[in-house]
A and B are shown apart, each in its own frame.
Chain A
Amino acid sequence: MLEIRDINKHYGTHQVLTNVSFSVGAGRMTGFVGANGAGKTTSMRIILGVLSPDSGSVLLDGQPLSDGDRRRFGYMPEERGLYPKMKVAEQLVYLARLHGLTTIAAKRNASDLLERLGLGERANDLVEALSLGNQQRAQIAAALVHDPEFLVLDEPFSGLDPIAVEVVLTVLKERAAAGAPVLFSSHQLDLVERLCDDLVIIAAGEIRANGSRERLRDQFSTPRFEIHTDADAGWIRGVTGITVIDFDGGEAVFEADSDAASQQVLREALTRGAVHSFGHLRPSLSTIFKEVVQ
Chain B
Amino acid sequence: MSTDITPGTEATPGTETRQHTPTSTRATHTAPNFWASVWLVATREIISRLRSKAFLISTGILLLIAVGSVVAGGLMSANPSTTQVAVVGSAGAVVGESAGLTMVSADDVAAAEALVRDGTVEAAVVPSDSLLGVSVIALDSPPSSVMNALSVSPTVELLEPAEQGGFLVYIVALGFGLVFFMSALTFGSTIAQSVVEEKQTRVVEILMSAIPVRALLAGKVVGNSIMALGQIVAIALLVGIGMAVTGQRVLLADLGPAIGWFAVFFAFGFVMIAALFAATASMVSRQEDVGSTTAPVTYLVMIPYFLVIFFNDNPVVMAIMSYVPFSAPVGMPVRIFLGSAEWWEPVLALVILAVTTAGVIVLGSRIYRNSLLRMGGRVTIKQALRG
Interface-facing stretch out of B97-105, B195-203, B309-317: B195-203
Would you give the shortest CB distance from A144 to chain B, in whole angstroms? 12
Residue B21 interfacial (CB < 8 Å): yes
- Bound-complex Cα distance A232 to B28 (A): 65
- Bound-complex Cα distance A86 to B10 (A): 29
Given contact pairs A50-B373, A100-B32, A68 touches B16 in the complex (Cβ within 8 A): yes
Inter-chain contact B29/A71, CB cutoff 8 Å: yes
B7-36 vs A, CB cutoff 8 Å, 1 = contact: the mask equals 000110001101011010011111110000
A106-144 vs B, CB cutoff 8 Å, 1 = contact: the mask equals 001100000000000000000000000000000000110
Interface-facing stretch out of A77-85, A233-241, A264-272: A77-85
Inter-chain contact B209/A70, CB cutoff 8 Å: yes
Inter-chain contact A95/B206, CB cutoff 8 Å: yes
Would you give the shortest CB distance from A115 to chain B, in whole angstroms? 16
Please pick, from B20, B41, B202, the residue contacting A150 in the complex, using a CB distance under 8 A: B20
Residue A98 interfacial (CB < 8 Å): yes
Inter-chain contact B18/A77, CB cutoff 8 Å: no
Tell me which residues across on chain A come within 8 A of B3, comparing CB atoms. Answer: none
Please pick, from B10, B20, B29, the residue contacting A99 in the complex, using a CB distance under 8 A: B29
Inter-chain contact B208/A50, CB cutoff 8 Å: yes
Tell me which residues across on chain A come within 8 A of B210, comparing CB atoms. Answer: 70-71, 95, 98-99
Tell me which residues across on chain B come within 8 A of A142, comparing CB atoms. Answer: 206
Given contact pairs A83-B197, A101-B27, A150-B20, A67 touches B209 in the complex (Cβ within 8 A): no
Residue A75 interfacial (CB < 8 Å): yes
Would you give the shortest CB distance from B233 to chain A, in whole angstroms? 27
Inter-chain contact A101/B29, CB cutoff 8 Å: yes
Tell me which residues across on chain B come within 8 A of A69, comparing CB atoms. Answer: 18
Tell me which residues across on chain A come within 8 A of B208, comparing CB atoms. Answer: 48-50
Interface residues in A53-109 (C-beta closer than 8 Å to B): 60-61, 63, 66-73, 75, 77, 79-86, 94-95, 97-102, 105, 108-109
Inter-chain contact B10/A67, CB cutoff 8 Å: yes
Given contact pairs A67-B32, A71-B210, A98 touches B201 in the complex (Cβ within 8 A): no
Tell me which residues across on chain B come within 8 A of A178, comparing CB atoms. Answer: 21, 23
- Bound-complex Cα distance A101 to B32 (A): 9
Would you give the shortest CB distance from A89 to chain B, in whole angstroms? 14
- Bound-complex Cα distance A150 to B373 (A): 23
- Bound-complex Cα distance A75 to B205 (A): 9
Tell me which residues across on chain B come within 8 A of A26, comparing CB atoms. Answer: 20-21
CB closest chain-A residue, reference B216: A98
Tell me which residues across on chain A come within 8 A of B48, comparing CB atoms. Answer: 85-86
Inter-chain contact B37/A98, CB cutoff 8 Å: yes
Tell me which residues across on chain B come within 8 A of A180, comparing CB atoms. Answer: 20-21
Inter-chain contact B20/A100, CB cutoff 8 Å: no
Residue B211 interfacial (CB < 8 Å): yes
Inter-chain contact B15/A179, CB cutoff 8 Å: no
Interface size on B, residues (CB 8 A): 36
Tell me which residues across on chain B come within 8 A of A100, comparing CB atoms. Answer: 29-32
Tell me which residues across on chain A come within 8 A of B211, comparing CB atoms. Answer: 67, 71, 98
- Bound-complex Cα distance A129 to B43 (A): 23
Tell me which residues across on chain B come within 8 A of A94, comparing CB atoms. Answer: 40, 44
Residue A147 interfacial (CB < 8 Å): yes
Residue A28 interfacial (CB < 8 Å): no
- Bound-complex Cα distance A84 to B198 (A): 10
Would you give the shortest CB distance from A156 to chain B, in whole angstroms? 14
Inter-chain contact B21/A75, CB cutoff 8 Å: no
Tell me which residues across on chain A come within 8 A of B32, comparing CB atoms. Answer: 67-68, 71, 100
Residue B171 interfacial (CB < 8 Å): no
Tell me which residues across on chain A come within 8 A of B21, comparing CB atoms. Answer: 26, 149, 178-180
Please pick, from B40, B44, B201, the residue contacting A84 in the complex, using a CB distance under 8 A: B201
Residue A163 interfacial (CB < 8 Å): no
Tell me which residues across on chain B come within 8 A of A98, comparing CB atoms. Answer: 37, 40-41, 207, 210-211
Residue A51 interfacial (CB < 8 Å): yes
Tell me which residues across on chain A come within 8 A of B209, comparing CB atoms. Answer: 48-50, 70, 73, 75, 77
Residue A146 interfacial (CB < 8 Å): yes
Given contact pairs A68-B11, A83-B201, A142-B206, A60 touches B20 in the complex (Cβ within 8 A): yes
- Bound-complex Cα distance A95 to B28 (A): 15
Interface residues in A214-268 (C-beta closer than 8 Å to B): none
B261-302 vs A, CB cutoff 8 Å, 1 = contact: the mask equals 000000000000000000000000000000000000000000
CB closest chain-B residue, reference A48: B209
- Bound-complex Cα distance A102 to B33 (A): 13
Interface residues in A22-66 (C-beta closer than 8 Å to B): 26, 45, 48-51, 60-61, 63, 66
Tell me which residues across on chain A come within 8 A of B207, comparing CB atoms. Answer: 98
- Bound-complex Cα distance A94 to B203 (A): 12
Inter-chain contact B18/A63, CB cutoff 8 Å: yes
Residue B74 interfacial (CB < 8 Å): no
Would you give the shortest CB distance from B211 to chain A, in whole angstroms? 5
- Bound-complex Cα distance A260 to B293 (A): 73
Residue B92 interfacial (CB < 8 Å): no
Would you give the shortest CB distance from A135 to chain B, in whole angstroms? 11
- Bound-complex Cα distance A88 to B206 (A): 15
Q: A72-B20, A179-B21 are in contact. List 5 more A-B contacts (CB 8 A).
A: A73-B209, A98-B41, A105-B28, A147-B29, A179-B20
Provide a sorted-by-A list of 22 A–B residue pairs whose CB atoms are within 8 angstroms.
A45-B373, A48-B208, A50-B205, A51-B373, A61-B20, A67-B212, A70-B210, A71-B29, A71-B210, A79-B202, A81-B204, A81-B205, A81-B206, A82-B201, A82-B206, A94-B44, A95-B210, A100-B29, A100-B30, A147-B26, A147-B29, A150-B20
Lowest 9 A-B CB distances belong to which pairs? A81-B202, A179-B21, A81-B201, A77-B205, A67-B11, A79-B202, A105-B27, A98-B210, A100-B29
* B-to-A contact residues, CB < 8 Å: 10-11, 15-16, 18, 20-21, 23, 26-32, 37, 40-41, 44, 48, 197-198, 201-212, 373, 375
